[in-house]
Amino acid sequence: MRVDEAKHKKRNKKKKRYIFRFSILVVLVGAITYALIQNYNKDKDIHEEGDQAPNFELTQVSENHDDAGEPLRLSDLEGKGVMLNFWATYCEPCEREMPYMEDLYPEYEDDIEIVAVSLDTSELVINRFINKYDLTFPVVHDTNSEVMDLYNISPLPSTIFIDADGKIVDKVNGELSLDTLEEHFKEIQPK
């Protein structure tokens, strides 16, 4: 009887110790996992492929466009694929890819909207640029870098391709060629 009791007591003690050790290890592993995930996320952009593109509203500056001075809201473009191009007049690669965008725009206009977000300061230089290249797609002016901050854009140009449902399909940091641009257009073209 006493032997049984002792054995029982011992088993109980062992079990308690197991639970104690197990819980401590779980807490520690949890903390480490959290740290590693946080560290991993830090290196990533906030918005990724597959995520819903965050909404914004900016004023159009395109002189050649009827809607100059009108606000443009991303959510209003749902149903169309959207090419969101972050650019500036002083950025040479941006200047190189602009004509490609203008080349393809008439062909895809019904399915795809190009929104060129300018990060310049003065409207004058944007207008001069639009005239130089006869741009017909809407150009909006991110006057206090809010949308740039929202999309966590650092190098210019940066282009985000959004499908008809408002999901980010692709992010391109850097210059696009005519071919790659058309490939991306095909991706976001509503079927």
Partner 1 sequence: MGVNHVKCECGHINPEGTVLCEACGKPIEKNQHIDGNEGKKLLNMRYDGASRRSQTYNQSIVDKIWNFFSSVRNGVILIVIALLASGIGTIFPQEMYIPEEAADRNPAVFYEDWYGIFGKIYYQLGLHNLYSSWWYMLLIALIGVSLVICSIDRFVPLRRALKMQKPKRHYTFLSRQRLFSNSGDVSEEDKKKVVERLKKKRYKITDENGYILAEKNRFSRWGPYVNHIGLIIVLLAALVRMSPIMFLDDYVWVREGEEKVIPSTDGEYFIENKKFTLETYDAEDEENEKFKDAIEEQGMIEKNYQTDAVIYKAKDKEVVGEEEELEKVKEGSLQMNKPMKFGGYTLYQSGYQENEFSDMTFGIYETDDEDGDSLGEVTIDTLEPDTTYETDSGFEVEVVQYYPEYEMKDGEPRSVSKFPRNPAFVLEVTPPDSDEEELSFVGIGKNIDATGENDYKMKIKDYNQRFVSGITVRKDYTIPFFIIGAAIFLIGVMQGMYWYHRRIWINPDKKGMLLAAHTNKNWFGIKKDIEYAIEGTSFEMVTDQEEEKEMEDDNREV
Measured from the Cβ of residue 58, the count of other Cβ atoms closer than 10 Å reads 20
The pair of structure tokens assigned to 46 is: 């906030």
- SS3 at position 46: coil
Candidate segments 54-62, 77-85, 99-107, 181-189, binder of partner 1 by CB under 8 A:
54-62
Classify residue 14 by burial, with Cβ atoms within 10 Å: 0-12, 13-18, 19+.
Answer: exposed
DSSP state of 52: B
Our CB check for partner 1 shows the closer of 68 and 150 to be: 150
Candidate segments 17-25, 102-110, 165-173, 175-183, binder of partner 1 by CB under 8 A:
17-25
What binding mask, one character per residue, do residues 67-106 give for partner 1 by CB under 8 A, x or -?
Answer: ----x-x-x------------xxx-x--------------
Angle between helices 123-133 and 92-108 (to 10 degrees): 60
Closest contact distance (angstroms) between CB of 86 and partner 1 is: 13
Q: Quick check: 150 binds partner 1 (CB under 8 A)?
A: yes
- SS3 at position 117: strand
Q: Quick check: 178 binds partner 1 (CB under 8 A)?
A: no
Closest contact distance (angstroms) between CB of 125 and partner 1 is: 5
CA angle, 177 then 183 then 186, to 5°: 140
Terminal alpha carbon distance of the chain: 80
* 8 Å CB contact between 119 and 145: yes
Our CB check for partner 1 shows the closer of 18 and 165 to be: 18
The pair of structure tokens assigned to 113 is: 């909207």
Q: Quick check: 133 binds partner 1 (CB under 8 A)?
A: no
Closest contact distance (angstroms) between CB of 186 and partner 1 is: 29
Contact set with partner 1 (CB under 8 A): 6-7, 10, 17-18, 21-22, 24-25, 28, 31-32, 34-36, 38-40, 42-43, 54-58, 71, 73, 75, 88-90, 92, 119-125, 128, 142, 144-147, 149-150
